[in-house]
Chain A
Amino acid sequence: MHGAAQEPPYFVTYSDKLEEPGNLEVGLKGLSGSPQDANAFFSPTLELEYGATAWWTTEVYLQGQATQHDSTIFTGFRWENRFRVLPSEHWVNPVLYLEYENVNKADKSLLEITGHDNVTDFQVSNAEGRSEIERTIEGKLILSSNAKGWNFSENFIAEKNVSNEPWEFGYAVAASRPLALVAGSSNCIFCRQNLAAGAELYGGLATAHDFGLEGTSQYAGPTLNFNLPHGTTIGFSPQFGLNDNSASVLWRFKVSYEIQQFRDWFRIGGRR
């Protein structure tokens, strides 16, 4: 369990939960799909998340993808920072998110959907996509509430390619709850308190020129997290396309391991 027990089981949506200060989470997020009129693919993303302070979490992603009948390539990196704005808990807790992305057009990680991201993007060959690098600045307003064991989170996303392209927008909303709110007295693995279930819905909101749902892709699906002892978390979610611009199904999974108080390794005297 080790703290990860309280992390909501989301893949795209962010909650107000930050990494605990000093902890380093190493995770692998996987996404697999077989979009219509495109080759099946698998996109792994390596995630290094560090709790710099109790109000600031910083994270680096390294992304790649392998496409059937095509190739396996590295697609880029992202550096994101999340800042908790208010010093105490409220009905709605805002978190500001700032990210720099340097990924090419062949990226298929779908860590968020913005603008007119579309199922036809999957048809681009790796050779063609990797030559076009996109450098973008992205901001998110994360709103999150915790009540009676439930977490409700809403993200509003604004993304701007540093070249001369319009602002692109997107959203993600999610809700989740642990399967048990009261903990048992044994240090069990398969206890309900170690499982959290929820659902998320996310998609694009087009651009500053044509804000709305038209021509965007939209996904929704159930999510499940299972927290194993010693800091390991496993998550799984099938996510379903809600319109013709979306892939019919995306399969997401996540495995992460939290290194407790990583910064203590660098203290004089080391870990105690």
Chain B
Amino acid sequence: MSANRWSKLWILLACSSMLMAASGGWLNKVPDADRRRVNPFDGKPEAVAAGAVLFQNNCAKCHGSDAAGKHNRPSLRSERVAHATDGELAWLLKNGSLWKGMPSWSSLPEQQRWQIIAYLRSLPPQTTEPRGAK
């Protein structure tokens, strides 16, 4: 393959990944089995309370203490997150989205990741324009 073709391929790949990222491309990567997973702590108030503590300790520094986003980091009260299934959010927490700056939280115990999701579900949707909505 010529150098010219390689550079076109790279540009195409870069553009596709930027488009995927801008449209929540990680959602397309979630396997169906993960997508269908159910939060074992769903509807448990003590899990929501524990998730709030975990969120403040682990997530708030990037996503803001109100989960509304910070700088260019996305809001977790957006429509996209609200429409994602619990399984999809669990997949994102486990795998991260490394090229977009979201680290993997796989070394946080799975139960604690579910507690964070239970807390996110308890948050009201954002009424103002989300910060860092990229």
Contacts and interface: CB of A to CB of B under 8 A. Distances in A.
Asked if A and B are interacting partners, one says: yes
A181 B62 contact: no
B105 A6 contact: yes
B110 A149 contact: yes
A89 B71 contact: no
A7 B106 CA distance: 11
A102 interface: no
B101 A2 contact: no
Contacts of B102: 54
Contact of A21 (B49, B103, B109, B112): B103
A54 B21 CA distance: 15
Interface in A163-219: 178, 181-187, 193
Contact of A8 (B94, B104, B107): B107
Interface string B38-52: 000000001001111
B58 interface: yes
B107 A17 contact: yes
B27 interface: no
A6 B70 CA distance: 23
B98 A185 contact: no
Contact of A181 (B100, B105, B111): B111
Interface residues of B, number: 35
Contacts of B107: 6-8, 15-17, 146, 151
A15 B108 CA distance: 13
A151 B105 CA distance: 12
Interface centre among A87, A178, A229 (most CB of B within 10 A): A87
A70 interface: no
Interface string B45-73: 01001111110111001100000001100
Contacts of B122: none
A106 interface: no
Given A88-B29, A181-B109, A1 B103 contact: no
B108 A53 contact: no
A53 B102 CA distance: 9
Which secondary structure dominates chain B's binding surface?
A: helix
A89 B46 contact: no
B109 A178 contact: yes
Interface stretch (A25-33, A125-133, A238-246, A260-268): A260-268
B78 interface: no
A54 B103 contact: yes
Given A178-B109, A185-B49, A185-B50, A89 B103 contact: no
Interface in A217-234: 229
A182 B115 contact: yes
Interface string B82-114: 000000000000111111111111111111100
Contacts of A8: 107
A23 B61 CA distance: 10
A120 to B, nearest CB: 38
A3 B95 CA distance: 16
Contacts of A6: 58, 105, 107-108
Given A89-B104, A149-B110, A272 B58 contact: no
Given A3-B61, A54-B99, 14 more contacts: A1-B57, A5-B108, A16-B106, A54-B97, A54-B98, A88-B96, A89-B96, A89-B106, A146-B107, A182-B50, A182-B109, A185-B49, A185-B50, A187-B53
Interface of A: 1-3, 5-8, 15-18, 20-23, 51, 53-55, 84, 87-89, 93, 146, 148-149, 151, 178, 181-187, 193, 229, 260-261, 264, 267, 272
Closest 10 interchain pairs by CB? Answer: A185-B49, A181-B109, A260-B61, A1-B57, A6-B107, A88-B95, A183-B50, A54-B103, A54-B98, A6-B108
